[in-house]
Amino acid sequence: MDSILRGKDFIATQDWSKGELNTILKLSEELKLKFAMNEPTDNLLRAQTIFMMFFEQSTRTRNSIEAGITQLGGHAHDLTPDKMQISHGESARDTAKVLSRFGHGIAIRNCFFGIGNQYLNNVAEHAEVPIISMQDDYYHPLQGIADLMTIREKLGNNLKGTKVTVSWAYADTHAKPLSVPQTQALLFTRFGMDVTFAYPEEFPLMPAIMEQARKNAENSGGRLQVTHDMDEGFNGAQIVIPKNWGGFLGVEDPESDEGKKEIKANLEKYKDWICDERRMDLTDKHSLYMHALPADRGHEVTDPVIDGPHSVIYDEAENRLHTAKAIMALTMGGRP
């Protein structure tokens, strides 16, 4: 596929125009239809290679990229730092230069707080092929675009005024990155949605990103508001996305022992921040429950909700495949 987006990095949705994002969504819809009808698409990226660099674990992202490139006719290399000279200190510049000579795209997941986004941009600065973010400490654009596709499938393409609540929820498995809610803040506000963020005061998101989201809302005719009451956030919502994120910004030094203890103490104060049937009853009667997965069942959400009639989590997960294919086809396509 020869595309005007060929070679463009996909690190943050904010770097893409609304028209370019709509191009991704349109192609995602076409590829999803072809997948459902078992029509081959292996001519789009035939014999092309994408290198997947994972600094953390992954299920949906890893498999959507690898299955996606295979369905487009290409191949993925699954890399982790212990398999690379990164473990011996190789620079982002050298890694970028070499992998650019070997293939057609580089996809990276690095969610280490204060490190990940900077690393992706360092690689992008020196790479000669497109860089696709598979999640960093700031953004998760692949998840965001799949969420938007799912919402459009369920509610239509005109989302102006749609009431969406992105809520913090309790989880004790690990301190989850800020990247999913921050991406949703930036992306949903560009499409005119009425977006509410609900979270305890000790679990804020990055001020600069939230300020940009407010500007997006002003430009699109949407709205962005914040509440520290989960029930208030759920009241009348058409879409709820309750998910944990870490309290990295609520303490002075989140990487210190004292900082980690303070984050843990803050976390334990909000065990009642769970998406249950009572809270779903506060939402619109046709509301959608969404989650990027994996969900911390019994903490973030109860089984009757995540497995219930409001839940669209598996449609949302499937769309990770089709949006990933569209992004790879548009950014990698056309290279000899």
CA triple 150-152-156, angle to 5 deg: 145
Assigned token pair, 106: 């580089």
Burial (0-12, 13-18, 19+ Cβ within 10 Å), 179: buried
Task: State the pLDDT at residue 334.
Answer: 53
Q: What is the largest CA-CA distance in the chain?
A: 56
- Side chain identity at residue 116, one-letter code: G
Task: State the pLDDT at residue 3.
Answer: 61
Task: State the pLDDT at residue 336.
Answer: 40
In this structure, the chain runs to a length of 336
Task: State the pLDDT at residue 127.
Answer: 98
106: which strand partners? 51, 131
- Running along the chain, 336 residues long, what does each successive block of 10 average in pLDDT? 82 97 97 98 97 94 98 96 88 97 97 96 98 98 98 97 98 91 98 98 97 98 98 98 94 87 94 98 98 97 98 98 98 69
Task: State the pLDDT at residue 33.
Answer: 98
240: which strand partners? 165, 289
Closest CA to 251 of 197, 203, 179: 203
CA triple 238-242-245, angle to 5 deg: 145
Instruction: Quote the CA–CA distance of 324 and 142 in Å, as a whole number.
Output: 7
Q: What is the CATH number of domain 142-316?
A: 3.40.50.1370
H helices of the chain, in order, are 18-36, 60-71, 92-102, 116-126, 141-155, 179-190, 207-220, 230-234, 257-268, 277-280, 303-306, 313-332
Which residues of the chain are in CATH 3.40.50.1370 domains?
13-140+320-332, 142-316
- Side chain identity at residue 1, one-letter code: M
**Fold adopted by 13-140+320-332:** Rossmann fold (3.40.50)
